Structure formats: C-alpha cells, structure tokens
C-alpha cells in the first residue's frame, strides 16, 4: 500500500468523528440509565468537560516508566483497532487501513490494550489494580473463546478473513445480514460483546464496591484522560466491529451512528437491571452458553 | 425468677437485689464469684443472650462498677449483675470464653477506663483511640473540655451563660428580698 | 511519651527495611518507605500564563467536580439523597469517585475524629491539584455539638485549607447544592487555589497536624 | 514446582501457631494484605477491614473502628438531662429516633414519670417511620453491593418521601428531637394521615418492584444464595440480634417480646426464616418493610385524635434524678437497641452506655464470618449484617 496523504487525512478525521461520537454516546447512555432511575441525568456535554478537566489538572505522579506506558498501550490498542476497521462500506476514503486478513489483527488488538494496562497498573503498586487486572485478563480470555469461534464460523461461511469482504457479502438488503444467515454465530458474538464492553453483569474489572476501581485506581489527571479518550474510541470501534460482522456494515455515517448506538445499547440494556457476577461465575458463564453457541456455529457451517 | 435468685444468692453471695421492672433485676456479686455466676446462669439457667458489659466510674468511692447484662430469651427476662472492683490497678477476670463479643467489650473498657482483663484476646491493642497519651478518657477525673481547649485550637466563642444562673439573675435580680422591695 | 513515638517513625513491622527471598529464590532488600512513598514536598503550581486559557480550564474544572466518596462523618447520610432522584447532583457535573487520585472535591461530612483526620490528610494529599474542600456541618467550623469532645477537632482550617463551609447540623442537601454552586463561582473567578495555599504554608499545616496526631507513622507528604 | 502439585485446599494453610494465632508470613508471597476502608465505597460507613488474602479468599480479617468516635458517653456526663437528648440522638445517624426513645424512656423510668397515652402512639409512629426509612435505604443497598444501583436510586427516593413526613411532623429531616423526656413535642398536623397514606401506597409499589428487580433476579440469586451462611448456634454465641437472628430461626423481636409503648395493641408477626445466608437476611428486611408499612397504617387507624402529649415534668434546669440504674431497649431496624443509664442523684447522668446491634455483629461476628469468603462478597456481607459504625464506637 502506497503512502497516501488523503487517506491519512480521512483516517484522522474519522478518528475525530469516532471520538466525539463515543463521548456523545456515553453521555446518552448515562442519561438513559438515569431516566430508568427516575433521574434527570448528566448534561449531554459532560464527557467533554470531564476530559478537558482531567487534561487540565496540574499535578501528576508517575510510579515508573511502565505506569506511564500503560495508558499509551491502552490507547494504542484502541486506535489500532480503529485503524484497521472499515468504517463506511462503498467509500474508498472511510475504509481506513483495512486489508485482506485484517480480522486476525483486529482480534489481537482487542487484547493488546488490556495487556498493556496489566503492565502499567501493576507498577502502580495498588493491590486493587492487581486484583482488577487479573480479573480482567482471565475474563477476557474466556470472552475471546466464543468470539473467536463466531468469527471463525463467519470465515468458514464467507470463505474469507477480510472484514471488507464479509461486509460486502452482506450488502443488498437486510435479509443478507449475517444476523439472518448465521444466527447461531450472531448469538455467540453478541453474548461475548456483553463481556467485551464490560457493563454489568461483567463489569467486575472495575467493580467500585469491591476493588475501587480496579486497574485505573492509581491513574489520574492526564493518564486518566488518555484512558477516557480510549474508552470513547474503543466502545464505538468495538460496536463497529460487530456491526460489520453481523449487521451488514454501514454505507453512510448516519447508518453507522444508528447501528453502533443500538449495538452499544444492547449491553447497557442488559447492564441496568443485572447485578455483577463474581469472576468465577462470569468465567463459567462464558464457557457455558456462548461457548455452546460458538461450537454450534462452527459445526453448522463446517 | 425470684426463686431462682434466692437459690443463687445462697451459693454465690448475691446481695443488693433491686427489682427495677417486671423484666429487669439488678444484683451485686463479688469479684471472685462473678465468672462462675454468669457461667452458671448461661449453662444452667438459660441466660443465653449476653446483652452488654459496661463500666461505671464511682470515683468518690474509689471503685469501678462493672455491669454484666444477661438476657433469658425464653422467659424474656433481664439480669444486670454489678461487680465492684478497686479503682487502683483495676483488673478483672476475663469472660471472653463465654461469649465471643465480650472480648470486644473488654478491649473497649481497657482502653476507656483502664480496667485490665488479663488473657482476653487483643485486649492491649488500641480499639478506638489512636496514639492516646493521656489517662483513659472515660474516667471521671479526665476533663474533656479542658483537653479539647488545650489541643484543638478552639474558635473564639460568643459569651454564653449558664442557663441556671442566668435565669436566676433575670427573674430574681439580687437577693429575693430586694426584689420584693422593688416591687412594692 | 509522644515525642519518643514521633522519633521512631514507622515502627510498624510492615514498613521496616528487610531482606526478602523472592519466589525464584533470589534475595533482595525491601525498603517500603523508599519504595512506596516519596518524601518530596508539595509544589506551588502557577496558573496558566494566558488568562483566556486559564479561564477556560477553570470553567471546565468548575463544571466537572468529582467528589471523593469518603464519608467521614454523619453528614455522609445526606450524600445518597444528593446523588438520587430528588436532588440529582449529576445535573451539575458532580459525580463521586472511589479513589482520591481521581477526585477533585473532598466533602468533609461532619466532625472529624483524630483517627479519621489522619486518613483525611492522606487522602487529601493524594488528590491531584487543584483540589477543593467542602466542610459540612457546624462541627467542622467550631466543633459544634462536640466542642468539648476529646476526640474531635474543632477547626478544620487549621489542618487542611477549606474552600466552602456549610453550616448546620446536619446541612440539608439543598445547602450542599448551594455550597457546590458557591464553589463553582469561586473556581470560575480563579479563587480555587487552596491547594497552592496548602503547599505554600506547608510547615504551618504540618505543625498543627502533628500536634494532635500523636503517632505520626507516615511520611510528611503522601504522594 | 510442577503445575500438577498446586495446593488447592486452602483450609490446609495458613497453620495455627502455638499461641492460637494464624501464622501468616507476608514475605512468603502466598498472602496479600488488603485494607478495605475507611476510604472505600463498599464499606458501610467509616470503618476499615484488614484482610489477609490467599488468592481471592480471605484467611484472616480484622475490623478496625474508632474513626467516628466522639466520646458521647463522656459528653453526656457533662450535660443536663434535657441537654443530653440532642447529643444522644446523634449516636446513630441512620436511625436517630431509637436513640431518642431509649434516652427519654431511661430518664422517665428513673424519675418515675408515666407518659400519656397519646404520646405513646405518636412515639410508636415515629419509631416505625424511622425503621421504615432505614430499611428503605438498606434493602436496595444489598443490591447496590452487587452493582445493582437502580434499586438504590429508587429506594433513596422512597426514603425521601418518609423524610418529608418527618419534616412535616417534627421540623427536622434527619435529626428530629421529637420525643423529649416526658412525652412528645406535638400532635400530628392536619392532613398528615392522608399524605402518609399516599406515600405508603408508593412504597407498596416499590416493594413489588424490588421483589422483581432483586429477589427474582437470577444473577442476584447466584451471588446471594448460600453465601456467608450463618450457623444458628452462632446467634447466641456472638450476640446477634434482629433480622440476623430471625433469619437463622430465632424469633427475636423486641416489639413482640417486650411490648413497649402500644405495640401490644397492634397485630403483627415478624418473619422468621431458617437458613441465614445473604439472600435470606436481605429478604427478611424486605418483609420488615411490609411489616412497618402495615404497622404505620394500623397506628394511624387506631390512634386517638386528641390527648395529652406531655406528662408533668420537673423544671428541666433543676431536674435531678435519684440514684438508680436501668436498661431500656427498643427494636431498631438492625435489631435490639438498648441504653443503660446510671444516675447518682445529681442533675447529670452518671454514665450512659449504648448497646447497638452492630457492636457485636460488625466486630466479632463479621471477623469470623469473613474468613473463607471471597473478596467480591465483603461489601455484601457487611450490608447483610447491616453494620453501622457510629454505634460501635459512639
């Protein structure tokens, strides 16, 4: 692939759009959650304020070089996931740096940020961070199993490992979406999405009443700002991945926003009314129901 | 319940029985008999619920009064057992083996009054206070207001009056006789 | 007695310097005080030199107040109502955070026992600058109901700088919201610089703190 | 060290030493020392737990209290009997009315005052309202420890409704000081019963919602059932009272056993269960909400319209009480709540000592109940015992 300044420019613009959409989406979701609790909720621009505030704090303490690199790894994972994710299908400009076989890379990038965070928060020295990150890693390992099975099932179904090809195969009406052509893999994928977005009942990584608040316990000011930025990007991109895999991708930004919103809403919808699992219950749950669907998806399309 | 107490008073030298309410009786026991008495009450008489262990400082008699409250859930009856111990080098037999919570009470009393309970688990560890370097604060001779004024940077307060003296002054200024003379 | 205690700081065995055998069989020396804490003094942070930028940043700071979820006294019973449907402080950009590293506002909810004051100072010093303190209740102003108690402090502003006092026993959630609004005004006017004041008068504050915390077994400044 | 030889049975270590204490060598890297609190959102109130962990499991726990110590018992020794009331009620902020009741009743009993019938009814109404508002906070709070924040939001809103009625009746939101020694300060305002009934209707709906949200929720059941089971023999051994004792099969309710005020004229039956895990301990409080709502309705229906509210008392500035001592208990939402008062003939109490349910449950019982528990359940266990630190240290 040749260097193309236009493509780079559009990718950065896409990143900006995704970041702002991620922040707006999180404030909408929090407002929705507040309405269920009979509250008015935060103002819609609150996430931007929090972000500016965190970057504007004056003092910051580093616990060492790995502590410093933790958020960098995390945002590296989020941005990496974005870079190789096709955003809008049918437009050359919004495909980012997606290439044939990018699915494998995307799955790696999902895990990448978590690993970096493990190193960084480990150096923070707080026991809550260590407990949180060990929970996070063990949970994410089990999330990966059904997710991988679902994706392999799609790879078998469409006979490709390219995300663009998978999306292109689903064009031409919603009856072509993987959701209808491969419902079993969709179910496995959507269950593992619940864990990947870590809302309740799978938010035991942060768990404010148990280990406040897990890995980012020691992170503050700019470090926390970077983590927040990453969270905003990651949530959209994660939803976009599932949109591309199961719900036919997006042909314009409006469709993109609508679909990512509802995919993200699915985890919030579950999260509002369910308490949190313990770590062994969460691991057991992922290795039971989603795994069965994942294996079934493989067998059906073998 | 009266028969039980009479029976007990023979064997455990109980005195000063006060029937405070229908369901509450206070009695005094000797320091040597006390642990035996409450063990007997727990195991034989069915006082299975331990309510409270408290300490009162009778500084004028130079005594500490320990009060053990026992409750009998079947008959809904309470028994308060007083025990006077010397105020100097105050020490009492520990009863932590009878009920688990007694160790906590003893720890608190050790800290707040300075009554020692040898053998009670954790009795020497600080329970509530941290870095306390004065006499135990719940003793009557500890002046909490003075201590607070010396230690905690009190703010200037507006002048306050003792309500009793102030009202006397307002309603009956001077001597009572002068007040009446003025009225005439 | 108190002096001897002060001299031998860190008598806690967990803080002692010692040699440890690691899981791999190697021996190494652990010095928790050096490893865990830094003895550096707090710094005075100058505001941004461009007034417009500083104004914008102050606006963001004022509108995004993260409260440390540390209920130090009985005033903390009014914090849940503040965060729930009736009063809903989220509307004003107020959220609670469980760790001092990520919070900007410390609500001292009522009287402070000496034992709590020690933890309050630690938590306060761990908060990133600029930080603000709301003192709730009469007991933080002059001791209130507990003016003669041997275990509660009388004036909070001798130990940590206070931005806004809220009088009452106990202050209603409305009073707390009013205090938050006052705090916002102060920050927007650029007067929320009490963290710098603390750093500038560090010795005076430390002297007061050490006067009542008899077993001072931590570094002078807890990063 | 091969992978196959990993010690999985945690009950085998740490070993107990000769002095009966667990031998825990932190440098061996088998254990982690973890402090929870006082600055920890999962810990109820301002107290600390010192936990030693082996993996996710707690092998030793210690409760540290004293962060809220104000020396009430010392302060009240310096105050007149009437001045003691506003001081004493601040001993427990979650439910101050029980303090008012036990303090006033101690003073009345020692000076031989009988309070009028009407005052008794109003006192009982206040006590039930106080129980109700405390339970409305703690029942959804059990879900809150499992990250089910929705119930907490609803519950605190319902509590606000009761606080509104308190405000209407007494003028205070949290601290009321309505039950003064000798009676109460006033009658019910006009229309109070109607507004109360409206609020109770909302709470009835809330009770059903909470049942759907928490007690029928599969994840909640998974987290709560058979966790931290309390052996029935521990109830007397540790002095557990109230809902904790009732969940283990002991029918102990002060309102029923020692009917104070007008509780003998009311018709109610406290719920008793036979298996004390987190789920049942929480469930019993859910039943208690219904009992309290029912009792408030009964009291409002049966209470007289008018009557004396205050007995004849001495001048409060010269109120001297002869030498004596007494113990008065009431049923708070947490269980038996008692006050021991000693007088010596002067105008100030010689000694008062509060017996709060948390004193035993949050120190001795919690320490032993936490051993073997998962750290994820610590907050839930604390809430299920309804610990309230201010009444431990006072």
Say if residue D38 is in the same domain as residue D77.
no
CATH number of the domain enclosing D358: 1.10.645.10
- Structurally, chain A folds into a number of domains equal to 1
Asked if C84 lies within 8 A of D41 by C-beta distance, the reply is: no
User: Does the residue B181 lie in any domain?
Assistant: no
Chain A nearest CA to C44, separation (Å): 10
Examine the pLDDT at B181 and tell me if it is beyond 80.
no
Examine the pLDDT at C15 and tell me if it is beyond 70.
no
> Which of the listed residues D41, D64, D87 is the one where a domain comes to its end?
D64
Asked if D217 lies within 8 A of A273 by C-beta distance, the reply is: yes
DSSP state of D38: S
Q: Residue C149 is nearest to which of D27, D75, D157, comparing CB atoms?
A: D75
Chain B: residue whose CA lies nearest to C6:
B131
- Domain range for B56: 2-159
Nearest to D210 by CA among D136, D300, D109: D136
- Structurally, chain B folds into a number of domains equal to 1
D87 touches C: beta carbon within 8 Å: yes
In angstroms, the Cα distances linking B68 to B5, B55, B101, D327 are 16, 9, 12, 11
Q: Could you write out the three-class secondary structure of chain C?
A: CHHHHHHCCCCCHHHCCEEEECCCCCEEEECHHHHHCCCCCCCCCCCCCCHHHHHHHHHHHHHCEEEECCCCCHHHHHHHHHHCCCCCHHHHCEEEECCHHHCCEEEEECCCEHHHHHHHHHHHHHCCCCCEEEEECHHHHCCHHHCCCCCECCCHHHCCCCCEEECCCCCCHHHHHHHHHHHHHHHHCCCCCHHHHHHHCHHHHHHHHHHHCCCCCCCCCCC
> Where is average pLDDT lowest: A87-91, C130-134, D223-227?
A87-91
Say if residue D270 is in the same domain as residue D377.
yes
Q: Give the model's confidence band at C97: pLDDT under 50 very low, under 70 low, under 90 confident, else very high.
A: confident
Which is it for strands B15-21 and D32-36: parallel, antiparallel or unpaired?
unpaired
C168 touches A: beta carbon within 8 Å: no
- Domain range for D10: 3-64
Given this model, what pLDDT does residue A48 score? 92
Residue count of chain C, please give it. Answer: 223
- With beta carbons under 8 A apart, name residues in chain A contacting D148: 200, 273-275
Asked if A209 lies within 8 A of D220 by C-beta distance, the reply is: no
Contacts of B170-176 with C-beta under 8 Å, sequence gap 24+, read: none
Asked if D154 lies within 8 A of A274 by C-beta distance, the reply is: no
Asked if C60 lies within 8 A of A46 by C-beta distance, the reply is: no
Given this model, what pLDDT does residue D293 score? 92
Examine the pLDDT at C4 and tell me if it is beyond 50.
no
User: Does the residue B132 lie in any domain?
Assistant: yes
Neighbours of A115 (CB within 10 A): 16
**CA C32 – CA C38 distance, rounded (Å):** 11
C213 touches B: beta carbon within 8 Å: yes
CA B168 to chain centre: 34
- With beta carbons under 8 A apart, name residues in chain D contacting A203: 147
User: Does the residue B97 lie in any domain?
Assistant: yes
Given this model, what pLDDT does residue D2 score? 40
**CB of A205 closer than 8 Å to CB of A135:** yes
**CB of A30 closer than 8 Å to CB of A50:** no
Say if residue D76 is in the same domain as residue D19.
no
Chain C: residue whose CA lies nearest to B151:
C212
Task: Report which of residues B161 and C62 the model is more confident about.
Answer: C62
Say if residue D231 is in the same domain as residue D296.
yes
Q: Do chains C and A touch (3 or more CB pairs under 8 A)?
A: yes
Say if residue D227 is in the same domain as residue D286.
yes
**CA D30 – CA D32 distance, rounded (Å):** 7
**CA D326 – CA D343 distance, rounded (Å):** 9
Q: Which two tokens stand for residue D13?
A: 């270590």
Say if residue D91 is in the same domain as residue D39.
no
- With beta carbons under 8 A apart, name residues in chain A contacting C63: 46, 49, 53
- With beta carbons under 8 A apart, name residues in chain C contacting B128: 115
Distant-in-sequence, close-in-space partners of A168: CB < 8 Å, separation ≥ 6? A89
Cis peptide before D38 (omega within 30 of 0): yes
Say if residue D57 is in the same domain as residue D80.
no
User: Does the residue B184 lie in any domain?
Assistant: no
Say if residue D222 is in the same domain as residue D123.
yes
Residue range D234-288, pLDDT digits in tens: 888 888 888 888 888 888 888 888 888 888 888 888 889 888 888 999 999 999 9
Asked if C212 lies within 8 A of B152 by C-beta distance, the reply is: yes
- If you average pLDDT over every residue of chain C, what do you get? 82
What are D's interface residues with A at a Cβ cutoff of 8 A? 32, 34, 40-42, 56, 143-150, 153-154, 157, 213, 217, 219-220, 222-223, 374-379
Say if residue D263 is in the same domain as residue D318.
yes
- Look up the pTM and report it: 0.87
Q: Which two tokens stand for residue D281?
A: 């301990």
> What residue ranges define each of the domains in chain C, with the CATH number in brackets?
2-36 (no CATH), 51-212 (3.40.50.12280)
Helices (H), chain B: 2-12, 34-43, 102-113, 144-151, 163-171, 176-183
B48 touches D: beta carbon within 8 Å: yes
- Structurally, chain D folds into a number of domains equal to 2
CATH number of the domain enclosing B111: 3.30.460.80
**CA A275 – CA D146 distance, rounded (Å):** 5
User: Does the residue B169 lie in any domain?
Assistant: no
From chain D residues 18-57, the ones with a CB under 8 A of any chain C CB are: 26-27, 29, 33, 38-41, 45-46
**CB of C141 closer than 8 Å to CB of C165:** yes
- Domain range for A108: 5-300
Q: Which residues of chain A have pLDDT under 70?
A: 1-2, 101
- With beta carbons under 8 A apart, name residues in chain D contacting B144: 71, 74-75, 78
- With beta carbons under 8 A apart, name residues in chain C contacting A52: 56-57, 60, 64
Asked if C2 lies within 8 A of B133 by C-beta distance, the reply is: yes
Given this model, what pLDDT does residue D149 score? 82
What is the gyration radius of the CA atoms in chain D, in angstroms? Answer: 23
Asked if B49 lies within 8 A of D355 by C-beta distance, the reply is: no
Given this model, what pLDDT does residue A171 score? 84
Task: Name the one residue in this structure whose structure tokens are 């427990």.
Answer: D92
C36 touches A: beta carbon within 8 Å: yes
**CB of D69 closer than 8 Å to CB of B129:** yes
Given this model, what pLDDT does residue C37 score? 65
A205 touches C: beta carbon within 8 Å: no
D78 touches C: beta carbon within 8 Å: yes
User: Does the residue B182 lie in any domain?
Assistant: no
Could you give the count of Cα atoms lying within 13 Å of B69 in the half-sphere of its Cβ? 25
Say if residue D369 is in the same domain as residue D242.
yes
- With beta carbons under 8 A apart, name residues in chain D contacting A274: 148, 217, 219
Could you give the count of Cα atoms lying within 13 Å of A230 in the half-sphere of its Cβ? 26
Say if residue D325 is in the same domain as residue D279.
yes
**CA B71 – CA B48 distance, rounded (Å):** 7
Residue range A50-99, pLDDT digits in tens: 999 888 888 887 777 888 888 888 888 888 888 888 888 877 777 777 77
Helix (H, G, I), strand (E, B) or coil at A300: helix
Chain C: residue whose CA lies nearest to D44:
C71
Say if residue D215 is in the same domain as residue D286.
yes
Given this model, what pLDDT does residue C6 score? 39
* Phi and psi torsions of C20, nearest 5°: -130, 140
**CB of A198 closer than 8 Å to CB of A132:** no
Given this model, what pLDDT does residue A206 score? 80
Chain D: residue whose CA lies nearest to A203:
D147
Angle at which helix D96-111 crosses helix D81-88, to 10 degrees, equals 160
DSSP state of D211: I
- With beta carbons under 8 A apart, name residues in chain D contacting B172: none
Given this model, what pLDDT does residue A20 score? 92
Q: What is the mean pLDDT of residues C40-61?
A: 86
Residue range D151-198, pLDDT digits in tens: 888 889 999 999 999 998 888 888 888 888 888 888 888 888 899 999
Residue range D47-94, pLDDT digits in tens: 888 888 887 788 888 888 888 888 888 888 888 888 888 888 888 888
């Amino acid at each position: 692939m040749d260097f193309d300044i236009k493509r780079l420019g559009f990718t950065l613009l896409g990143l900006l759009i995704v970041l702002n959409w991620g922040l707006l989406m999180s404030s909408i979701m929090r407002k929705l959650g507040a309405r269920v609790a009979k509250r008015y909720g935060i103002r819609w621009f609150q996430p931007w304020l929090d972000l500016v505030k965190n970057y504007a704090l004056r003092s910051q303490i580093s616990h060492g070089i790995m502590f410093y690199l933790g958020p960098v790894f995390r945002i590296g994972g989020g941005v990496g996931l974005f870079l190789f994710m096709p955003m809008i299908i049918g437009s050359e400009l919004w495909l980012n740096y997606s290439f044939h076989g990018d699915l494998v890379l995307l799955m790696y990038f999902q895990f990448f940020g978590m690993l970096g965070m493990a190193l960084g928060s480990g150096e923070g020295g707080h026991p809550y961070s260590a407990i949180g990150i060990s929970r996070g890693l063990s949970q994410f390992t089990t999330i990966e199993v059904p997710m991988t099975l679902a994706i392999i099932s799609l790879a078998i179904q469409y006979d490709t490992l390219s995300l663009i090809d998978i999306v292109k195969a689903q064009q031409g009406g919603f009856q072509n979406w993987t959701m209808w052509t491969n419902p079993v893999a969709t179910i496995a994928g959507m269950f593992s999405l619940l864990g990947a977005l870590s809302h309740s009942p799978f938010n035991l990584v942060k768990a404010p009443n148990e280990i406040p608040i897990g890995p980012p316990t020691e992170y503050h000011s700019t470090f926390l700002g970077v983590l927040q930025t990453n969270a905003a990007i990651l949530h959209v991109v994660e939803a976009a991945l599932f949109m591309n895999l199961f719900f036919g991708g997006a042909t314009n930004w409006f469709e993109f926003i609508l679909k990512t919103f509802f995919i993200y809403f699915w985890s919030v919808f579950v999260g509002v009314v369910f308490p949190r699992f313990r770590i062994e219950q969460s691991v057991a749950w992922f290795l039971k129901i989603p795994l069965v669907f994942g294996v079934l998806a493989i067998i059906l399309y073998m | 319940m009266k028969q039980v107490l009479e029976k007990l008073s023979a064997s455990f030298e109980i005195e000063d029985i006060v029937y405070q309410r229908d369901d509450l009786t206070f009695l005094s026991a000797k320091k040597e008999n006390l642990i035996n008495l409450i063990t007997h009450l727990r195991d034989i008489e069915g006082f299975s619920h331990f309510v409270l262990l408290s300490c009162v400082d009778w500084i004028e008699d130079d005594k500490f009064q320990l009060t053990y409250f026992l409750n009998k859930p079947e008959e809904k009856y309470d028994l308060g057992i007083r025990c006077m111990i010397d105020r100097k080098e105050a020490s009492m037999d520990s009863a932590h083996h009878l009920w688990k919570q007694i160790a906590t009470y003893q720890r608190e009393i050790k800290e707040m009054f300075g009554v020692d309970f040898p053998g009670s688990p954790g009795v020497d560890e600080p329970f509530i206070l941290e870095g306390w370097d004065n006499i135990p604060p719940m003793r009557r001779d500890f002046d909490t207001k003075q201590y607070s004024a010396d230690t905690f940077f009190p703010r200037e307060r507006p002048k306050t009056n003792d309500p009793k003296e102030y009202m006397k002054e307002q309603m009956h200024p001077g001597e009572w006789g002068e007040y009446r003379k003025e009225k005439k | 007695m108190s002096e001897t205690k002060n001299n031998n700081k860190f008598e806690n065995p967990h803080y002692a310097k010692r040699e440890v055998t690691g899981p791999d069989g190697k021996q190494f020396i652990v010095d928790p005080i050096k490893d865990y804490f830094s003895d550096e003094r707090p710094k005075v942070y100058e505001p941004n030199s461009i007034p417009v930028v500083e104004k914008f940043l102050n606006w963001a700071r004022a509108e995004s107040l993260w409260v440390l979820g540390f209920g130090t006294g009985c005033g903390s019973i009014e914090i849940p109502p503040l965060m729930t449907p009736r009063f809903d402080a989220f509307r004003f950009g107020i959220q609670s955070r469980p760790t001092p590293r990520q919070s900007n506002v410390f609500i001292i909810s009522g009287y402070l026992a000496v034992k709590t004051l020690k933890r309050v100072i630690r938590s306060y010093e761990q908060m990133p600058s600029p930080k603000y303190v709301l003192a709730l209740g009469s007991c933080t102003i002059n001791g209130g109901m507990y003016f003669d108690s041997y275990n509660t402090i009388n004036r909070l502003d001798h130990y940590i700088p206070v931005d806004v006092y809220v009088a009452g026993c106990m202050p209603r959630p409305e009073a707390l919201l009013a205090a938050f609004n006052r705090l916002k005004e102060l920050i927007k006017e650029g007067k929320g610089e009490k963290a710098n004041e603390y750093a500038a008068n560090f010795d005076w504050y430390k002297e007061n703190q050490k006067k009542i915390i008899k077993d001072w077994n931590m570094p002078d400044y807890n990063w | 060290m091969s992978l196959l030889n990993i010690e999985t049975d945690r009950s085998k270590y740490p070993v107990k030493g000769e002095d009966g204490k667990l031998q825990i060598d932190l440098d061996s890297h088998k254990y982690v020392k973890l402090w929870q609190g006082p600055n920890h959102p999962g810990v109820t109130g301002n107290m600390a737990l010192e936990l030693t962990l082996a993996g996710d499991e707690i092998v030793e726990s210690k409760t540290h209290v004293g962060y809220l110590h104000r020396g009430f018992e010392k302060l009240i020794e310096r105050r007149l009997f009437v001045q003691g009331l506003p001081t004493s009620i601040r001993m427990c902020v979650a439910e101050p009315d029980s303090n008012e009741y036990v303090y006033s009743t101690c003073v009345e009993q020692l000076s031989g005052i009988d309070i009028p019938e009407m005052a008794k009814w109003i006192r009982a109404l206040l006590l039930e309202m106080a129980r109700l508002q405390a339970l409305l906070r703690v029942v959804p709070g059990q879900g809150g420890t499992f990250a089910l924040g929705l119930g907490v939001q609803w519950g605190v809103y319902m509590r606000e409704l009761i606080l509104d009625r308190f405000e209407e009746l007494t003028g205070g939101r949290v601290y009321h000081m309505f039950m003064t020694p000798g009676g109460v300060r006033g009658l019910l305002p006009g229309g109070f019963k109607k507004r109360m009934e409206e609020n109770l209707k909302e709470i009835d709906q809330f009770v059903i919602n909470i049942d759907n949200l928490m007690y029928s929720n599969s994840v909640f059941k998974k987290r709560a059932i058979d966790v931290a089971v309390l052996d029935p023999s521990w109830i007397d051994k540790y002095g557990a009272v109230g809902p904790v004792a009732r969940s283990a099969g002991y029918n102990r309710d002060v309102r029923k056993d020692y009917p104070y005020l007008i509780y003998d004229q009311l018709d109610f039956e406290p719920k008793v269960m036979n298996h004390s895990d987190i789920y049942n301990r929480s469930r019993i409080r859910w039943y208690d909400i219904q009992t309290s709502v029912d009792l408030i309705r009964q009291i409002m229906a049966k209470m007289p319209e008018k009557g004396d509210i205050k007995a004849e008392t001495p001048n409060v500035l010269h109120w001297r009480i002869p030498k004596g001592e007494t113990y008065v208990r009431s049923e708070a939402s947490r269980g038996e709540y008692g006050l021991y008062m000693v007088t010596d003939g002067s105008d100030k109490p010689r000694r008062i000592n509060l017996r709060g349910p948390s004193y035993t449950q949050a120190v001795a019982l919690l320490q032993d109940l936490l051993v073997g528990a998962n750290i994820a359940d610590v907050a839930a266990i604390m809430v299920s015992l309804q610990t309230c630190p201010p009444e431990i240290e006072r």
